[in-house]
Structure 1
Amino acid sequence: MSSKRERGGPVTDTSTVTSTFGQMLRQRRQAAGLSLRQLAARVGYDHSYLSQVERGQRPGSVDLARLCDRELGTGDQLTVTFERRDPEPAVLDRRPAQRLQGAWRPAGAADPLELAWQGLVAAAGVAEQAIALGDFRTVPPASLLPELVGELQALQARGGDEVEAVELSVLIAETLTGLGERRTARRWWWAAQTAAASSGDGALLALVCAREAISGLVERRPLPELLELADKAVAAARQTPSTATCVPQVAQALVLAELERTEETHQALQVLVGIGDDTVVTDARPTDWLPYQLHWAEGRVCAGLGYGVPGCILLERARELCPETWVGERAKLDLGLAECLAVAGEVAAGLATALRVLVELPDEWHDLWVYDAADRVLRVVQDKEPTLPGAAELRRLLSRSGRSVGGGSSDRQVRG
């Protein structure tokens, strides 16, 4: 096991420090008479994630430690204990690309436990990445980023599958986008697309181009550039038909809706509606597109076409299919529903929904994806009923994102 020196203390195994933090968290929680679910609800984390932290299976985060200190009345005990652990995740969070240039561990220093795990995975014939990242949607973006980078480092160190590396790069790029690191995200998109193209796997290239186009909408990249990406994804998917075809079609429909090409958007929406839940892949790999995401896309395209009521129906269906523990995903669905309500004429209800989501959503889940969805609600409100009292409050909340608010697409180059 690798080890790091604590502040002013002896060299200590990092797993011991992680375990110490988890043990202290459990002791303080039990002393306060709270269950895992109760504490999870108070701090805005999934209870299964807290359970893993207490058992030493997940490292936790400074944010989690501070929130738990506040809720449990433990001063800064948990925060100090957590900060005594290996500081490397914070470095990964700031400079993931630089960290990838180094090896996961020195040659010849392989962890016996990791080797045993690899042997077990091989013997069982299961996909390790699906196990390791199956719950990534329950982890806030700032905490998720170093975990994804760590997964990629480990994959590279053991000479893992190229497809898995590309998929991890996609997740890293999307997470960076959410954190507002646009320039760094672009580098990861470039790396993912280059690797996918060189692999000769058309379905993989289609996936990367499509996901980048969808992410580009949040980044406010020029729409013609995004349409080119979406068209490239559709073309690649047609050459190698697979269940991933859904994502390129989704990207194309979303970009066409933003370009306000009504007739083409109608046609693209019909394609999406014709896909159906049963033809969308299940959650077998981290980048698989799930049924709730398909309905989210359909609802958003409906909103762009002015079909508020159908959009509401589709977003409600998406909410039914999305697990409650996926806090960030459900926030985006609720904001999509708010937009559809406003488009349908229920402007006050849509505005109230958007305000509720932003106020109740824990700070660690506030990212660019959420702000973009809320900004779409504000645009409809300003177009239909700009004098509603809550509009100013929504603008204030959105100002936290450090981006132009309610500006529509005026900051984009050429609408087409």
Structure 2
Amino acid sequence: MANLNLGSPKLTPPKILSLGFLLLIAVGTTLLCLPVSSTTGRIHFIDALFMATSATCVTGLAVIDTGTQLTTFGQIVLLVLFQFGGLGFVTMATLITLVLNKRISLKERLLLQESMNQNSMQGIVLLIRRVLLYSLVIQLSGAVLLAARFMLDMPLGKAVYYGIFHSISIFNNAGFDLFGDIHGPFSGLTRYVEDPIVNIISMLLIFLGGIGFIVMADVIDFRKRRRLTLHSKVVLTTSAVLIGLGAVIFFGLELNHTLKPLHAGGKVMASFLQAITPRSGGVTTIDIPLLRESTHFLLILLMFIGAAPGSTGGGIKITTFAILASAVYARLRGREDIIMFRHRISKDNVYRAITMTLLSLMLVVIATMLLSVTERASFLTVLFEAVSAFGTSGITMGLTPELTMIGKMLVIILMFVGRIGPLTLAYALKPKKSKELYRYPEGNITIG
């Protein structure tokens, strides 16, 4: 990693992270614009920019079909982008540094701390090493299992390639797939809706990529430490509740609709996958436009919440949602303190959660209003697209390929801010150590 003057206000960690993602997007756009990347001659610049941003921000929204309109070279460009984008370019740069056996400086540790959303630099390099090891093992295992399944449908070489591509894509919550080449453009995994192997592996990859590397390391160390951190408890519990509740509601809403033709096992698998994928997974086995409006709104809520901090997913993060829900519960019970797993949550964390949520909500509302003007689609379809882009979820009701030029630019901005915004806000909202010299008198405002 190059030495970075983080002491300069012009090169703060959030700015370096933002510039790094912009650089990845610029390189990816340039490569996708080359004739060698397209099966149809040359990709339009705005489409190449959209695809590069979607891959780098691990979103999965696509204006062109990955399986039919991109060559193997173009597909590999996307693969590299969402691998770097998912794990973070800082983490990948650290891997190169470790391979070259170079020392990681204090300035670079500060950047790693920010990229992993950590409160301390202690053990940050060890954490990065473990992140890289866990990611490699999980993605390799997923690739082998998926390749073994795909061998039943295609030649060995193609099955291996598909296994590697989809394992990396799903684990990094990117949501890109190549099955348009086999089942038709933008078909996704709909042909595997009742396939237990594809469904279970996909759900595990999305879940592991979405809980965050901090939680993953904590769970692996559970045998030694015999306890989990508060962060891990909140992430795992909230994830289980959201997935379980989401699957039950999805099952109830779609039982006599899109799930009706499926067998009992297929209905259960489809419900759970569709409850997990809004965490930022982006892969679906059900045709999203065919769902009920109530189910669409359920997915919008799940996409807005998103995955865990320090993961490959987006959204406001499930810890933010958990803190807000606990704050509401404490207020309804008349309690002053917010208690989670016998720990009191600081007011600073509550303020940060409120600020994060309101800023995210304002961004989605403004983007939805603008898209409602530029696009010829229903309000729910536009809202779904905006939340999917912000939450880097990558599922769509079919609007993405039909976006206007202005609409594509708006969604590009949403994807970028959705990926970068939470990191930048988390850094900007950290409490300052300086003590206020005076306080204003307390005032009362009537609420409710």
Same fold (TM > 0.5):
no
TM-score (norm 2): 0.29
TM-score (norm 1): 0.31
Work out which structure has the larger RCO, using CA pairs closer than 8 Å and 6 or more positions apart in sequence. Answer: 2
Name whichever structure is richer in helix by fraction: 1
